[in-house]
């Protein structure tokens, strides 16, 4: 009986150790995970909007991630022309009349909650809207897409980042 208890203790210890390893790394995070975490945060702040992952936004995020750093670098608060084209916020294009948020969050060694927290605070604030129709408010359903890429952070270090694109129709 003592041997069985010892064996059971070893097996349980091993199982607990394996569960710690399953959450490691930011690369296992996907759009749905980020959307779910953002929805949890929105509920916690009593917001009425929800996030849903969608392939259109994911395609935009992937296209931005594929650009060179110089082509996606924001200077003077103005989005580069190539990024505007991908987001469809130029005149007479897909998102001209929609709300559009865009940005990147650090993904290296940061899981879903950390990336969603950064997105909520840096990208999804009222002041960070890249396209905002005059006199309108964003609808309660917000579509999200993400893609991994790299960026050079101050100090010259290459870092994995998650590019995030969110759109919402006006109401």
Tell me the pLDDT of the chain (171 aa) as tens digits: 666 566 545 544 555 554 444 444 444 789 999 999 999 999 988 888 999 999 999 999 999 999 999 898 877 778 899 999 999 998 778 888 999 999 999 998 889 999 999 999 888 887 788 888 889 999 999 999 999 999 998 888 899 999 999 999 999
Alpha helices in the chain (DSSP H): 2-21, 31-44, 55-66, 69-72, 81-87, 112-118
- Length of the chain in residues, anyone? 171
- Structural domain containing residue 60: 25-168
* Residue 161: per-residue pLDDT: 94
Full 3-state SS string of 56-79: HHHHHHHHHHHCCHHHHCCECCEC
Residue 145 counted as domain residue:
yes
Residue 132 counted as domain residue:
yes
Measured between alpha carbons, how far is 56 from 156 in angstroms, rounded to an integer?
Answer: 32
* Residue 1: per-residue pLDDT: 66
Rounded to the nearest 5°, which phi and psi values hold at 121? -85, -35
Check: CB of residue 162 under 8 Å from CB of residue 146: yes
**For the chain, the helix, strand and coil percentages under 3-state DSSP, each to the nearest 5:** 40, 25, 30
* Residue 104: per-residue pLDDT: 92
* Residue 54: per-residue pLDDT: 96
Q: Which of 141, 114, 115, 136 is nearest to 126 (CA)?
A: 136
Measured between alpha carbons, how far is 110 from 119 in angstroms, rounded to an integer?
Answer: 12
* Residue 140: per-residue pLDDT: 94
Residue 4 counted as domain residue:
no
* Residue 11: per-residue pLDDT: 46
* Residue 18: per-residue pLDDT: 46
CATH number of the CATH domain containing 78: 3.40.33
Residue 96 counted as domain residue:
yes
Residue 9 counted as domain residue:
no
* Residue 13: per-residue pLDDT: 57
What pTM, to 2 d.p., does this model score?
Answer: 0.79
């Amino acid at each position: 009986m003592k041997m069985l208890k010892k064996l059971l203790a070893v097996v349980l210890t091993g199982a607990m150790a394996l569960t710690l390893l399953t959450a490691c790394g930011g690369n296992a995070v996907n759009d749905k995970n980020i959307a779910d975490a953002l929805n949890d945060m929105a509920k916690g702040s009593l917001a009425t909007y929800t996030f849903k992952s969608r392939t259109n936004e994911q395609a935009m995020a992937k296209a931005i991630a594929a650009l060179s750093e110089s082509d996606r670098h924001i200077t003077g608060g103005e989005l580069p022309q190539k990024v505007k084209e991908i987001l469809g916020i130029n005149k007479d294009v897909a998102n001209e009349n929609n709300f559009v948020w865009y940005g990147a969050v650090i993904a290296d060694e940061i899981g879903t909650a950390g990336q969603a927290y950064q997105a909520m605070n840096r990208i999804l604030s009222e002041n960070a809207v890249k396209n905002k129709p005059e006199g309108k408010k964003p609808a309660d359903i917000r579509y999200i897409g993400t893609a991994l890429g790299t960026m050079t952070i101050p100090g010259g270090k290459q870092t994995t980042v998650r590019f995030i694109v969110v759109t919402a129709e006006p109401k």
